[in-house]
């Protein structure tokens, strides 16, 4: 019996479809738990799926490369999913036209302050220059963040970890923080989440409303472009200023 179980497990372990299916199962389970918890941000579907997947890979000793062979399809679908964000953006086009000036200023100031805060805090905590560079683009979507990090001499893999952590934290504390500060404007909430927590923040923004999600998607895209230009222009000189 144990031989049969071991044989079946060995076959499934090397089947890429297993990891794709497991990812989807964990996410669907996370959605049910999220609804049962009445929208508790600590139990969002993304967090539950990530924690369960990490635990599974660690328990069974599965290397990430083998997992990605199956789950890579989801990674591929991120592109079309990002394009689909154009639909709610189009629906909110009149509101976007009205708010173009504060939106532009907010995005520029937000990107600059993110870079400055990372450098200052990294210097205060004595981080190495390579680690600090890897953290600078942490608030933008993973492909852009990894590209910026690599171009500046950072560690793209470490950057990806920082991006995921930032997205999870942003999606958790975003709504409670808005309520605490009495921020009820959907555009403000959406831009804040997209600017600071990229894709995961945009997912959380759509839980607030379609308008918040539309503004979050726009902020996520523009913040990625702005950071790609501003990180090398500001990050390097700031680090030299602090002797890093």
Averaged pLDDT for residues 139-168: 80
Lowest mean pLDDT among 4-13, 32-41, 202-211: 4-13
Which residue matches tokens 């995921």? Answer: 164
> What is the reported pLDDT for 2?
42
> What is the reported pLDDT for 75?
63
Averaged pLDDT for residues 171-199: 83
Is the pTM here over 0.85, yes or no? no
Averaged pLDDT for residues 132-158: 80
Averaged pLDDT for residues 13-28: 76
pLDDT at 49 over 70: yes
Which residue matches tokens 């532009």? Answer: 104
Averaged pLDDT for residues 156-175: 82
What is the 3 state secondary structure string of the chain? CHHHHHHHHHHHHCCHHHHHHHHHHHHHHHHHHHHHCCCCHHHCHHHHHHHHHHHHHHHHCCCHHHHHHHHHHHHHHHHHHHHHCHHHHHHCHHHHHHCHHHHHHHHHHHHHHHHHHHHHHHHHCCCCHHHHHHHCCCCCCHHHHHHHHHHHCCCHHHHHHHHHHHHHHHHHHHHHHHHHCCCCCHHHHHHHHHHHHHHHHHHHHHHHCHHHHHHHHHHHHHHHHHHHHHHHHHHHHHHHHCCC
Condensed to tens digits (0 to 9), the pLDDT of residues 191-232 reads 888 888 877 778 778 877 878 888 888 888 788 888 888 888
Band (pLDDT 50/70/90 cuts) for residue 1 is very low
pLDDT at 7 over 70: no
Condensed to tens digits (0 to 9), the pLDDT of residues 102-116 reads 888 888 888 888 888
pLDDT at 5 over 60: no
Condensed to tens digits (0 to 9), the pLDDT of residues 72-85 reads 666 666 666 666 66
Phi, psi torsion values for 117, nearest 5 degrees? -65, -35
pLDDT at 242 over 60: yes
pLDDT at 184 over 80: yes
């Amino acid at each position: 019996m144990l031989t049969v179980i071991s044989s079946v497990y060995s076959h499934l372990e090397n089947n890429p479809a297993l990891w794709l299916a497991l990812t989807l199962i964990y996410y669907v389970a996370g959605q049910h738990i999220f609804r049962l918890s009445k929208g508790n941000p600590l139990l969002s579907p993304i967090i539950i799926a990530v924690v369960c997947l990490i635990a599974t890979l660690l328990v069974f000793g599965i290397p990430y490369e083998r997992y990605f062979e199956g789950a890579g399809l989801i990674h591929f679908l991120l592109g079309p999913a990002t394009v689909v964000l154009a639909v709610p953006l189009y629906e909110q086009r009149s509101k976007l036209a009205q708010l173009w000036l504060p939106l532009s200023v907010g995005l520029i100031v937000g990107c600059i302050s993110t870079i400055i805060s990372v450098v200052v805090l990294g210097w205060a905590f004595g981080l190495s220059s390579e680690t600090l560079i890897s953290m600078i683009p942490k608030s933008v979507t993973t492909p852009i963040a990894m590209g910026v990090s690599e171009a500046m001499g950072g560690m793209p893999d470490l950057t990806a970890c920082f991006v995921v952590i930032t997205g999870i934290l942003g999606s958790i504390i975003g709504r409670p923080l808005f309520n605490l500060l009495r921020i009820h404007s959907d555009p403000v909430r959406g831009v804040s989440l997209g600017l600071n927590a990229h894709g995961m923040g945009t997912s959380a923004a759509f839980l607030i409303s379609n308008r918040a999600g539309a503004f979050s998607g726009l902020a996520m895209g523009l913040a990625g472009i702005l950071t790609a230009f501003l990180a090398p222009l500001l990050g390097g000189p700031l680090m030299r200023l602090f002797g890093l």
